Structure 1
Amino acid sequence: MLLITRIIPDAVLARARAEYQTRELRHTGPFDPARLLSNLDGVTAILCNASDRFDAALINALPAAVKVIATYSVGVEHIDLDAAAARGIAIANTPDVLTDATAELALMLMLMAARRAGEGERLLRAGQWPGLTPTFLLGRDVHAKRLGIFGMGRIGRALARMAHGLNMEIHYHNRTRLPAVLEEGAIYHESDADFLGGIDFLSLNAPGGAGTKGWLNAARIAMLRPGAIVVNTGRGSIVDDDALIAALRSGHVAAAGLDVFNNEPALHPDYLTLENAVLMPHIGSATVETRNAMGFLALDGIASALQRFDKDQ
């Protein structure tokens, strides 16, 4: 039996029901571990998402029949992998299929932040557009500017290819330098100061985890050129919220476009007070095509893990 914690797209649910007996919790709010545990009779696989935290205590409380946890996400930070491995529980996730959709959203946030799109729409909806004047809602050009990408993985490289269409010069900072064939002309910077000091836009595309937690802090923000624009579609944990909010208030960071936050969905309330912050509710992969593909890949991962388990018996 497959237990599904959240509401999933119809096409994915139809396939899941065709391939498995399903139990559907249809969570819409905070994850409830107790409710999960009370619904695991006969369950061999769980399909969850990034909002469902499977810590060591929860994993150790799972029945022995549970053999695989699949997550409707690329990231697996919400799952204690060591605890799962100790229990012999396989983990499946959904890499690759959301690359272009997330890169598109990063580009959208760059454009919206640079051109003050959120401010303009709010003025129109409030009936406060005063009419066209030469200084009304002046933003920043994006074309021919320098884009810095922190985390040049699949999504970062997809964003770089899109930004080439705007004649942007691509710079990047990574744990290691990429092979030239993957750089596609992007300029690698080994140090934070060299990287941050020469860019007009900073896109955060690195994974979460201890290695990147709070990476964009006050010290690194100070390295940015005055008036730089920051976009985050990676992980909320990469950003020190207080430091970024202070920089947005001072104008050192001209604008920010954010799709991910610490403590989602309870983002730092001060972001809501900033006109120069474009805020999206973690919708980087939220297209019909991408969410279907993610669900199908998760189901593939479940099937593969269960087949391996059967062969080992």
Structure 2
Amino acid sequence: MTKPIIYITRKIPVELLKPYEDRYDFRMWPESETPVPREILRREAREADGVLCMLTEKIDEAFLSENAHLQIIANMAVGYDNINVEAANRKGIWVTNTPDVLTETTADLTFALLMATARRVTEASDYIKEDRWKNWSPFLLAGSDIHHKTIGIVGMGRIGKAVAKRATGFNMSILYHNRTRKHQAEKEVGVTYVPFETLLDESDYVISLVPLTKETKHLFNEAAFQKMKESAIFINVSRGGTMDEIALYEALQSGEIKAAGLDVFEEEPISSDHPLLKLDNTVCLPHIGSSSMKTRSQMITLCLDNIDAVLQGQQPKTPVRIE
């Protein structure tokens, strides 16, 4: 009997496939760094029963119409703005994501980026590498304190709550804004709900942890940056589309806000001539929020578990449903 076919859009460790090899025929794009070309993905999907994709793949209505036979698309990410979930739901195709398993790892990176930006860590490292350190001086590369400051978290989901817990260790005042109140987080962590404008006005650190939707696209725009303190630091570890990069660049260059730490960008990847890379007050990372060996392996395994469940006639563990 022919095994169901699963197409994987990026090269992953083959040992992660071993528990499923007796049930499925795995086919895989052989590159780990380069995304699968769309034409090849379309061709491979025609024969597949399920697809394990990355956030780099655009799974739009045209792709779904061509491949309405697919039973599941497992996205190796929490966010799913690369997939037209509504269209997939209409066609009876399951879409899954990978929540929970990356929460703590992404929160670690978020706080690491906050600290690196506030204390000018990468700038200080480059200072030595460029052989510019000649003497100690009292205000050499002086940065911003983190302890006892106010952090404003926009998006109090799992990762937002985990970041808030880390902030308590620095004795920070924690504000948050979310589409709905999170009373449990308020009780457990001591976070305070405020309107978006109040958060911008009062926070020393503004953290974007919202998913990219029609409502959150360019949420952090010119007006938002103008509302922030001149001493404020903006951190984005959600999706690049939640910020207007041109407005952010102008705010950083003019001193409207103090600094920014970014793990995401509007169009990824960015090149070395990107304007934000020219600014000393910006720390840029290549979208590595969940990038630890253990977490990335767990994300892949969750994708495979979801695919296995659906192809065995069961409900997946972490379905995405759009009402």
TM-score interval, smaller chain: over 0.9
> How far apart are residue 258 of structure 1 and its match?
0.3
What RMSD, in angstroms, separates the aligned Cα atoms of the two structures?
Answer: 1.8
> How far apart are residue 63 of structure 1 and its match?
6.0
AA paired with 1:102?
T
Q: Deviations over 1:245-300 (max 9, x none)?
A: 11111122111110011011136811110111000000000001100111111111
SS at match of 1:78: coil
AA paired with 1:22?
F
Q: Deviations over 1:101-148 (max 9, x none)?
A: 111111001100110111111122222222311121010110110000
For 2:94, which of 81, 90, 93 is the aligned residue?
90
For 1:262, which of 262, 266, 274 is the aligned residue?
266
For 2:291, which of 275, 286, 289 is the aligned residue?
286
The 10-residue stretch of structure 1 (74-83 or 8-17) with the greater mean CA deviation from structure 2:
8-17
Q: Deviations over 1:10-62 (max 9, x none)?
A: 54244454552111113432441211122246421111110011111111112
Q: 8 Å contact 1:33–1:58 — kept in the other structure?
A: no
For 1:142, which of 142, 146, 152 is the aligned residue?
146
How do 1:204-283 residues align onto structure 2 when only pairs under 5 Å count? Answer: 204-266=208-270, 269-283=274-288
**Paired position in structure 2 for 1:296:** 301
What TM-score, normalized by structure 2, do the two folds share?
0.90
Q: 8 Å contact 2:74–2:95 — kept in the other structure?
A: yes
Q: 8 Å contact 1:11–1:292 — kept in the other structure?
A: no
The 10-residue stretch of structure 1 (25-34 or 235-244) with the greater mean CA deviation from structure 2:
25-34
**Paired position in structure 2 for 1:21:** 25
Q: Establish whether residue 105 from structure 1 lines up as the match of residue 74 from structure 2.
A: no
Q: 8 Å contact 2:29–2:36 — kept in the other structure?
A: no
Number of equivalent positions: 308
**Distance (Å, rounded) in 2 between the aligned partners of 1:153 and 1:20:** 35
How do 1:96-135 residues align onto structure 2 when only pairs under 5 Å count? Answer: 96-135=100-139
**Distance (Å, rounded) in 1 between the aligned partners of 2:22 and 2:9:** 18
Q: 8 Å contact 1:4–1:26 — kept in the other structure?
A: no
**Distance (Å, rounded) in 2 between the aligned partners of 1:53 and 1:78:** 5
**Distance (Å, rounded) in 1 between the aligned partners of 2:239 and 2:24:** 33
How do 1:28-39 residues align onto structure 2 when only pairs under 5 Å count? Answer: 28-39=33-44
**Distance (Å, rounded) in 2 between the aligned partners of 1:198 and 1:141:** 16
Instruction: List alignment gaps of at least 5 residues for structure 1.
Output: none
Q: Structure 1 stretches (4+) deviating beyond 3 angstroms?
A: 13-19, 180-183
**Paired position in structure 2 for 1:68:** 72
**Distance (Å, rounded) in 1 between the aligned partners of 2:182 and 2:86:** 29
SS at match of 2:159: helix
**Distance (Å, rounded) in 2 between the aligned partners of 1:284 and 1:259:** 7
> How far apart are residue 5 of structure 1 and its match?
0.7
Question: What percent of counterpart residues are identical?
Answer: 37
Q: 8 Å contact 1:255–1:276 — kept in the other structure?
A: yes
Q: Establish whether residue 80 from structure 1 lines up as the match of residue 79 from structure 2.
A: no
C-alpha distance 252-20 of structure 1, shift in aligned 2 (>3 A): same
> How far apart are residue 302 of structure 1 and its match?
0.7
**Distance (Å, rounded) in 2 between the aligned partners of 1:193 and 1:211:** 15
For 1:58, which of 63, 70, 92 is the aligned residue?
63
Q: 8 Å contact 2:68–2:91 — kept in the other structure?
A: no
